[in-house]
Amino acid sequence: MQTAEIRRRWLDYFGERGHTVVPSASLVSDDPTLLFTVAGMVPFIPYLTGLVPAPYPRATSVQKCIRTLDIEEVGKTPRHGTFFQMNGNFSFGDYFKKEAIEFAWELLTGSEQDGFYGFSPDDLWVTIYEDDDDAFRFWKDTAGLPDERIQRLGMDTNYWSTGLPGPAGPCSEIFFDRGPAYGVDGGPATDDDRYVEIWNLVFMQYLRGEGRGKNDFEILGELPRKNIDTGMGLERVAFLKQGVENMYEIDQVRPVLDRAAELSGKRYGADHDDDVRMRVIADHVRSSLMLMADGVTPSNEGRGYILRRLLRRSVRAMRLLGVDTATFPELFPASRDAMKAAYPEVDTDYARIGRLAYGEEETFLKTLESGTSILDVAVEKVRTSGGKKLEGDVAFQLHDTFGFPIDLTMEMAEEAGLTVDRSAFETLMAQQRNRAKADARAKKTLLADLSVYSDFRAKGETVFTGYEFLETDGTVLGIIVGGESVQRARVGDIADVILTETSLYAESGGQEADAGRIVGEGFELEVLDVQRPVKGLVSHKVEVTKGEVGVGDAATSIVDAAWRRGATQAHSATHIIHAALREVLGPQAHQAGSYNKAGYMRLDFNWNQALSPATRTEIEELSNNAIRNNLEVETKVMPLTEAKALGAMALFGEKYGETVRVVEIGGPWSRELCAGTHVSRSSEIGLINVVSEASVGSSNRRIESLVGMDAFRDLATERAIVSRLSTELKTPREQLPERIAGLMASLKEAEKKIAAYQSAALGERIPGLADAAVRRGGLTSVIENLGTVASADDVRTLSLGVRGRLGNEPAIVAFFADVAEKPIVIVATNDGARALGVRAGSMVSIAAGVLGGGGGGKDDIAQGGGTSVAAIPEAADALRAALPA
């Protein structure tokens, strides 16, 4: 049974039983505590927890998920996958435990001919929470399983909660027994790979209180509305139904594995280590494909870093298979073709995805060359010192800074006859993970604070009127101060105020929140920020500047008209520049993020090379022509499917409901899904002045522009500068570039002559400095402060000249100087001095330490520096004191 067929049967089964079929949400999660959608229930959390009223009593979905906590286990077990699909059915206060068990058993064990999955009941085991007698009874009544195949397990495995106060409850898991060839007998309680978990049923029936972790907490009572959250692993069922050994061999994954085998000349199944590498490649390529299809781009932080890590692990695995050249142009199309039946967007958007993937691979292959050079230096240093082990901090630096995989470091060190201090490396990695966990805990606490909004959201949604009005009358629905819901806020308080209606735009879609005020009888609030903490609710962060405000008070939201005008200009300018980019560069120049506020906008777009001055000018002219042509800006509200059919562009990573707002500028020329505020005609933008275009990653560029009066003021400033230059240089404006180029050339020539005169003058000092040499204990020394010198090269030349002047007698020359307001020291020794144990590198270390810096070099000449010119006399004394008596 193909994976797509398993998916279809699931949705058909539950759809026919009254469940609303909900499309998969993006892999990019709305939850601020999560980088990705990590489970099928994540999009439904607001409904399951009661934070937002559920729009339907029961639902079903096949949700795309990404988990990276077990990334090191990928390829080693039959079930660990980074990207996976979770089939889920959900009840929001509708049916409960009995019906959930009946649904699961019927779909699993019903015949394939009748549209079910056809598992034999003899192969299935069930676990329940140790005290859940209801579940035990329902399983007996529904499935007729013998008692020994319904195992009671503890809270660690069969009790669900978020780890925070809120919904909780027992769960029941269904396992498939692969048979004695795969492990020991005894059921899921043995925790053996023989038993594969395929379905988990969570019965949310209790309210848990505060506690420590997953096991230690108090049950406060039953929930008023009990919920069902179940999940069946699509890939796990697929590998069982397709009769293969693991999830990497199913129809949606195996083609990449086979292509990796062909490219490497290895045979899958011949060597355990190579098999693991091929499975890693198959998993990571598919996971990367799906992440990029949802708008994630490689970067050095957040989601982009996870994607980059997956891509680089794939490159590393191919290298360990013996392939050093680019392979993504072969591997990614294989994954695309395997996944496009279920997710057509991976095919329709493949030009962008492929360009991102291929560019990242090319960059990392160059990084591997750089990392290899650094590793070679470190290895040589260890070998020179007689050591046998590469320090853990070197391995960690290669991993953390260059993305150099530890396995690759260990492999290359072993080739050089060295080991790697893996223990020290793991310690540093653990410290990094702890820092990340601490950050995640802080974010989790932030999510917990969102529970304060649940009572407000239960009363309805905030109505946004700002598209039509700058002022709106409403009522204060709630007030939050210091994370606590309160009845009143007074002068000086910083509070979050929720209104029933507001004209103030909440930050979203790249547009900054509106500036403005909220006023009422006896109070005035300055609006500091506007956000949507939960779906359907607008919260205004305010400072109470007059009187006091209370829950239930009438309140009028007032938008700063000048700010809104600038914001609409900037947001519409963003759409215009996006359309101009695509017209000039082609449709692959797709928006990857934006930010706009009054007078300013920036837009990130998928492109991997700098724009030429001519191209940048063309984009700017095209944008301003669109303004001059006074194009109509029209907004329409329509179903998402209709908007997509119309060709409206969506921003990758943004979430859209079933009904969307489409903004058109000049009809189809610019047609995008957008909830922001816009001008009514393009001429209202006034002017677009592109001020910069630069890289923000290996495959993304950023274009920035000033808009409206800010654009005019910037151009006026440039005009004033040009006018002043023209006057002072007595040169017409159009001839300024040639005039300035001539002046620069003359200046460089003068600087060369001055440098030559200075060098000659320094050379004339050699005899005098040599004559000032001090002879003590068989060693001649010249230690002097030269004062201000143009360059370190001049100091080096002078030191070598004086050393040569001193002849063959043991001698050391040490010159200090002020170069560009920074102290430097250069020490030169001859053969006689080195025979006495006086080495330049050691002397520089002593002097540089006093100067507040460091340095090094060879035994005959070395250079150092520091931070304090004033410390030069003290450093010279320290060096003299270090010479042999």
What are 601-656's pLDDT values in tens digits? 999 988 878 899 999 999 999 999 999 999 999 999 998 888 888 888 776 556 66
- Kindly list the structural domains of the chain, giving each domain's residue range(s) and its CATH number in brackets, ordered by start: 3-243 (3.30.930.10), 254-387 (no CATH), 459-559 (2.40.30.130), 564-716 (3.30.980.10), 766-882 (3.10.310.40)
Residue 713 has a pLDDT of: 93
Q: Write out the DSSP string of 740-794.
A: HHHHHHHHHHHHHHHHHHHHHHHHTTHHHHHHT-EEETTEEEEEEEEEE-S-HHH
Residue type, 583: E
* C-alpha neighbours within 13 Å on the C-beta side of residue 685: 36
For 861, phi and psi rounded to 5 degrees?
-155, 140
**Structure tokens of 494?**
């910083």
Residue with tokens 């191919």: 318
Is 575 marked as a binding-site residue? yes
Percent of the chain residues past pLDDT 90, beyond the cut? 53
Residue 604 sits at the vertex; the CA angle it makes with 598 and 607, to the nearest 5 degrees, is 150
Burial (CB count within 10 angstroms: exposed 0-12, middle 13-18, buried 19+), residue 128: buried
Residue 107 has a pLDDT of: 96
Residue 664 has a pLDDT of: 95
Is 578 marked as a binding-site residue? no
Is 590 marked as a binding-site residue? no
Q: In whole angstroms, what is the distance from residue 850 CA to residue 143 CA?
A: 82
Residue 716: CB atoms within 10 Å? 11
pLDDT in tens, 51-69: 888 889 999 999 999 987 7
User: What is the average per-residue pLDDT within 369-390?
Assistant: 76
By the 8 A CB rule, do 567 and 530 touch?
A: no
User: What is the average per-residue pLDDT within 214-238?
Assistant: 86
Q: In whole angstroms, what is the distance from residue 220 CA to residue 235 CA?
A: 37
Residue 464 has a pLDDT of: 95
Among 33-47, 266-280, 843-857, the range with the most confident prediction by mean pLDDT is 266-280
pLDDT in tens, 186-215: 999 988 888 999 999 999 998 888 877 667
Among 245-249, 663-667, 752-756, 848-852, the range with the most confident prediction by mean pLDDT is 663-667
- pLDDT bin (cut points 50, 70, 90) of residue 443 is very low
Q: In whole angstroms, what is the distance from residue 509 CA to residue 400 CA?
A: 32
Residue 444 has a pLDDT of: 36
Cα–Cα nearest to 490, from 543, 552, 553, 556: 543
What are the contacts of 339-345 at 24+ separation with CB within 8 A?
339/252, 339/286, 339/289, 339/290, 341/4, 342/3, 342/4, 342/7, 342/252, 343/64, 343/290, 343/293, 345/293
815 against 414, higher pLDDT = 815
Pick the range with the lowest mean pLDDT from 167-181, 340-354, 386-400. 386-400
Q: In whole angstroms, what is the distance from residue 802 CA to residue 763 CA?
A: 9
Residue 442 has a pLDDT of: 41
Residue 653 has a pLDDT of: 52
**Structure tokens of 779?**
């060693």
**In this structure, what is the dihedral angle of CA atoms 238, 240, 245, 249, given to the nearest 10 degrees?**
-10
Percent of the chain residues past pLDDT 70, beyond the cut? 94
Residue 392 has a pLDDT of: 81
Q: What is the largest CA-CA distance in the chain?
A: 108
pLDDT at residue 506 above 90? Answer: yes
User: What is the average per-residue pLDDT within 354-371?
Assistant: 82
Residue 441 has a pLDDT of: 43
Is 674 marked as a binding-site residue? yes
Residue 593: CB atoms within 10 Å? 18
User: What is the average per-residue pLDDT within 866-884?
Assistant: 89
By the 8 A CB rule, do 290 and 338 touch?
A: no
- pLDDT bin (cut points 50, 70, 90) of residue 309 is confident
Residue type, 437: K
By the 8 A CB rule, do 360 and 698 touch?
A: yes
Average pLDDT score over the chain: 88
User: Coil, strand or helix: which one is 693?
Assistant: strand
Q: In whole angstroms, what is the distance from residue 545 CA to residue 414 CA?
A: 68
User: Coil, strand or helix: which one is 862?
Assistant: strand
Residue 632 sits at the vertex; the CA angle it makes with 631 and 633, to the nearest 5 degrees, is 115
